[in-house]
Amino acid sequence: MKNFSTVGARLVVAALFSGVTAVSAQTLHCTFRADAPDQHLVVKGDTLWDISGHFLDKPWCWPQVWGMNREEIHNPHWIYPGQIVYFDRVGGRLRLGAPIGANGDGGGGDPSQLRLTPQLRMEGLGKDAVQSIPSGVIEPFLTQPLIVEDDELKNAPRVVATQEGHVFLGKDDKAYVRGELNGGTSFQVFRPGVPLKDPVTGKVIGHEAFYLGTLKLQTAAKGGSGSDVHTFTVANAKEEMGVGDQLMQAPPTPMRNYVPHPPEQLVESRVVAIYGGVTHAGQNQVVSINRGKLDGLDVGSVLQLYHAGRVVTDTTASKGWTGMGSPKVKLPDEEVGSLFVFRVFKHIAYGLIMQVTEPVVVGDVARSPE
């Protein structure tokens, strides 16, 4: 391995987002690991986060050291097992190249001259490409559970009756539904859940609806017969469904290959809830935060997690203190990990906890990387 000092211990990289935002006005400090390798062979099971972690102290610095612009962050070039990521120490960049000898020159070329170029794979359309984070962990959260804001389910279609003789519905049972389908034929079924309260203001900012399963339209309401009730069949059931449960059209399968990156503007948020109702969260657990797309977050945004500093009484400030009693002071926030945002609503977002050193609790701080 070449001496790391050839590029210095710290790289100062300007944010590469277009437009004038809070982030583009600041400078991000991206530090390569002292033991960063010269290259890494991409293998099946690698993630962008893992690969970046081989080279960088902060994996969210990935776009900066690849020299990506905002368009490339949202539409990344595919990276596949078998390719090699090179560390260009002189330029302070990571480069993507083919294995040695793959170009027919026997030596693979000079890694410092390799550029990140589109890897066109028509077959499979990228299904074998490296994912940003472990997809299996977040798969259930990409389409469910659902954050409901501003009475979004208020006018949603609803189950008004079950198959005769059934109190609750299971797979292949019939469900009778009223409401506008707007051309949809496949719907997810939800039951409104507990309110989500902002840890700072105490205000209810949304509800987390519980996903119950999927319904497929069998026969649409004919109207002319005097009935406005649609007949559905239960395609799959995660939980029992019943009268009063509500429907939303099943969303299209989302793209999962998001590049980890800092938000486009400064974000200060708090952990609202830990999915599953537990009090503490660790590595690879999902939490919701009280900021969303209208606050500057998008999918792939990375935030740093902190325990909020306690407010304590300074009993040592008696001399020169003119107020009543001893003054109150706030201790510094303590960094405990990173949060990868993978699903964003208007004012709430889901994030996967990464690299946590202590359990995360409701009320912890999640803010833009420093």
Supply angle C-alpha 17, 18, 22, rounded to 5: 65
0.85 exceeded by the pTM?
Answer: no
The dihedral sign for the CA sequence 127, 130, 132, 134 = positive
Rg (CA), the chain: 25
Phi, psi for 4 (deg, rounded to 5): -65, -25
| Range with top average pLDDT, 12-21, 68-77, 327-336 | 327-336
Decide if 249 contacts 184 (C-beta within 8 A). yes
pLDDT band at 256, cuts 50/70/90? Answer: low
Q: Is pLDDT above 60 for 120?
A: no
Q: How many Å is the maximal CA-CA distance in the chain?
A: 87
| Percent of the chain whose predicted confidence (pLDDT) is above 90 | 27
Average pLDDT, the chain: 77
Confidence (pLDDT) at 17: 27
Q: Is pLDDT above 80 for 126?
A: no
* CA 323, chain centre distance (Å): 46
Of 145-149, 153-157, 308-312, 314-318, least confident by mean pLDDT is 314-318
Q: Mean per-residue pLDDT for 155-163?
A: 91
Q: Higher model confidence: residue 62 or residue 270?
A: 270
Q: Mean per-residue pLDDT for 250-278?
A: 79
| Percent of the chain whose predicted confidence (pLDDT) is above 70 | 76
Q: Mean per-residue pLDDT for 154-165?
A: 88
Q: Mean per-residue pLDDT for 321-341?
A: 81
Confidence (pLDDT) at 68: 73
- The upper half-sphere exposure of residue 330, i.e. CA atoms within 13 Å in the direction of its Cβ, equals 6
* Dist CA 144 CA 121 (whole Å): 30
pLDDT band at 139, cuts 50/70/90? Answer: confident
Confidence (pLDDT) at 134: 74
Per-residue b or e along 296-317, where b marks 16 or more CB atoms closer than 10 Å to that residue's CB: bbbbbbbbbbbbbeeeeeeeee
Q: Is pLDDT above 90 for 320?
A: no
Q: Could you tell me the two tokens for 265?
A: 């503007």
Q: Is pLDDT above 70 for 106?
A: no
pLDDT band at 28, cuts 50/70/90? Answer: low
Decide if 38 contacts 2 (C-beta within 8 A). yes
In 3D space, the residue among 256, 291, 218, 234 whose CA is nearest the CA of residue 139 turns out to be: 256
> Which residue's entry shows tokens 């028509």?
122
In 3D space, the residue among 264, 54, 73, 49 whose CA is nearest the CA of residue 137 turns out to be: 49
Q: Is pLDDT above 60 for 286?
A: yes
Tell how strand 186-191 and strand 158-162 pair up.
unpaired
Could you give the domains of the chain?
4-136 (no CATH), 146-249 (no CATH), 268-367 (2.40.10.410)
Decide if 112 contacts 97 (C-beta within 8 A). no
pLDDT band at 311, cuts 50/70/90? Answer: confident
pLDDT band at 22, cuts 50/70/90? Answer: very low
Confidence (pLDDT) at 308: 85
